[in-house]
A and B are shown apart, each in its own frame.
Chain A
Amino acid sequence: MTSPDDDFELKRALDALPRVIEPPEDLWPGVRSRLGPRRLVPWWRRPASLRIAALLVLLGIAAGALALQRRGAASWRIAGLEPGAGERRLEPGDSLHTLTGQQVLMEVGKIGRVSVGPLSRVRLLAASTTRQRLALDAGSIDVRVTAPPRVFVVETPSGTVVDQGCAYTLEVDSAREAFLHVTIGWVTFEQGRRESLVPAGFRVRSGGAGGVGTPLAEDASAALASQVGRFDAGRADALDSILAQARRKDAVTLWHLIARTEGAARERVVTRLATLVPPPPSVSRAELLRLDRLALRLWWLELPGTIPIYPDWVQTVWTWWLKLFG
């Protein structure tokens, strides 16, 4: 048997032993003579600093790819020129004229394409991830764009066509009047403070004394189209005929007339439209008559062929997303 004192003494003696004893001679030459060349170390086993460097390189590549992508959005690639012409790009400030029978296809960054019809003249005003702006001076274009609202815009001599995510054809004639026909989604046609919301299946004319016209269903009768044209030209007496001829499918036309009439005329428009498409219960007649923005938008949603109007914050968020990641 051992006493605790013996254990304690032994432990104390062991603890007192030096943990470092220098070798009696220099052993380094012997070590050095046996050192071979260091093997190449796989990158994933290298020190953290090298891994950080590798990460930075990857980030650089990603940034470069992003820059290239953004550069791609800064000009439009032109296709459909004569065979062998090679690739051509349309930069901001450039213009393009097409000849008789010539059709030119342009790629709008990564958001869509524009087909330029024969005898047309277009100018590229701006090209960036969040802003693509074209001017159509004459001729016609066919547009198909998938982008956040208001990213793709076309200027015409008689107003601005603002894409809200859609496909449409736009034509400017020799009198500098513009004709818009929307086939997918919806578009706004703006001139000054006057604006028309044109959903798919509707068309609108702009130019002349009335500015941006009132949208018409593509299958609207010629008689209705004629009366709407007269109304847009300032002939208020055309309203009676319009109200009488309007069908449920023409509700969008009447909805626009609410803001384009006043007083008793506005009341008659609201009454007629309400018989074709009743407003939502949450919307009062008084709100509609005083052109309450929210009330009008809520009624818009009830009309046949319409789709929701994006709140402004949706566009803000979408645009920032494009700026950061687009």
Chain B
Amino acid sequence: MTETVRLAQAGDEAAFERLYREHAGRVYALCLRMAGDAAHAKELVQDVFVRAWEKLDTFRGESAFASWLHRLAVNVVLMDRRLLARRAEEPLPDEEGSQGGARAAKEAPPELRMDLEAAIAALPAMMRQVLVLHDLEGYQHGEIAQLLGVVEGTSKSHLHHARRKLREALTR
């Protein structure tokens, strides 16, 4: 455990800011790709670091701080997704053509100008999250299924469809 983390755990805001500066880019990239929306990603980044501040005492140094923060960020993003779905009283946007994908495509941020980034952002929410977690963040299907509350087969199916859509988008 680094001295900066120890200081932050003791309540030192300056130390926590150093942690923010060090890890914000990684967290933002994750939130941006998972949410597919730059404005929402910025909110999520703030949520992630506020939650990290509150939960710092649970970090015991068994893993790297970056890994701990990354997992926390994934949880925050997925929790946000569930809250959004509940508020809208709609099923989770896990089907093709659902509004998550439409919103993402409509509000594609400037950072997603590359075709691939734009294609990822345009994926339906569940497909996008499975793809990001599996192909970009290295999670296994078992872990993804647990995080998203689905069975492994569903995770594999979403990944398969997500890759197919990306290929189609890139060959257009």
Binding site for B on A (CB under 8 A): 2, 6-7, 10-11, 13-14, 17-25, 27-28, 30-32, 34-39, 41, 45-49
Which B residues are in CB contact (< 8 Å) with A38? 9-11, 53, 56-57
Does any Cβ of A come within 8 Å of B147's Cβ?
Answer: no
CB distance from A129 to the nearest CB of B (A): 42
Whether A21 contacts B25 by the Cβ 8 Å rule is yes
Interface residues of B in 45-72 (CB under 8 A from A): 45-46, 49-50, 53-54, 56-58, 60-61
Instruction: Determine, out of B16-24, B80-88, B96-104, the stretch whose residues face the partner at the interface.
Output: B16-24
Whether B6 contacts A47 by the Cβ 8 Å rule is yes
Whether B9 contacts A21 by the Cβ 8 Å rule is no
Q: How far is the CA of A21 from the CA of B136 in the complex (A)?
A: 13
Q: Summarize B's interface: helix, strand, loop or mixed.
A: helix
Whether A20 contacts B29 by the Cβ 8 Å rule is yes
Given the known A-B contacts A23-B25, A23-B45, A35-B50, are A17 and B9 also in contact in the complex, defined by CB atoms under 8 Å? no
Taking CB as reference atom, which chain A residue is nearest B160? A2
Whether B57 contacts A21 by the Cβ 8 Å rule is no
Does any Cβ of A come within 8 Å of B26's Cβ?
Answer: yes
Q: Summarize A's interface: helix, strand, loop or mixed.
A: loop
Between A7, A25, A32, the greatest number of chain B beta carbons within 10 A of the residue's beta carbon is seen for: A32
Which A residues are in CB contact (< 8 Å) with B58? 45
Whether A20 contacts B49 by the Cβ 8 Å rule is no
A and B contact pairs by CB, cutoff 8 A, 15 listed: A2-B163, A7-B163, A13-B116, A13-B170, A20-B29, A23-B24, A23-B42, A24-B109, A27-B45, A32-B13, A35-B16, A39-B54, A46-B57, A47-B6, A48-B1
Q: How far is the CA of A13 from the CA of B114 in the complex (A)?
A: 11
Which B residues are in CB contact (< 8 Å) with A41? 9, 57
Does any Cβ of A come within 8 Å of B166's Cβ?
Answer: yes
Which B residues are in CB contact (< 8 Å) with A37? 11
Which B residues are in CB contact (< 8 Å) with A46? 9, 57
Which A residues are in CB contact (< 8 Å) with B167? 2, 6, 10
Which A residues are in CB contact (< 8 Å) with B10? 38
Given the known A-B contacts A11-B135, A35-B13, are A21 and B46 also in contact in the complex, defined by CB atoms under 8 Å? no
CB distance from A47 to the nearest CB of B (A): 6
Which A residues are in CB contact (< 8 Å) with B40? none
CB distance from B16 to the nearest CB of A (A): 7
Which B residues are in CB contact (< 8 Å) with A49? 6
The 4 A-B residue pairs with the shortest CB-CB distance, nearest first, are A20-B25, A38-B11, A21-B29, A41-B57
Q: How far is the CA of A204 from the CA of B56 in the complex (A)?
A: 76
Whether B28 contacts A21 by the Cβ 8 Å rule is yes
CB distance from B30 to the nearest CB of A (A): 9
CB distance from A37 to the nearest CB of B (A): 7
Taking CB as reference atom, which chain B residue is nearest A35? B53
Does any Cβ of A come within 8 Å of B76's Cβ?
Answer: no
Whether B50 contacts A31 by the Cβ 8 Å rule is yes
With beta carbons under 8 angstroms apart, the residue of B28, B57, B60, B166 that contacts A23 is B28
Whether B13 contacts A10 by the Cβ 8 Å rule is no
CB distance from A268 to the nearest CB of B (A): 83
Which B residues are in CB contact (< 8 Å) with A28? 17, 20-21, 24
Given the known A-B contacts A27-B45, A31-B50, A41-B57, are A17 and B116 also in contact in the complex, defined by CB atoms under 8 Å? yes
Whether B46 contacts A31 by the Cβ 8 Å rule is yes
Which A residues are in CB contact (< 8 Å) with B110? 24
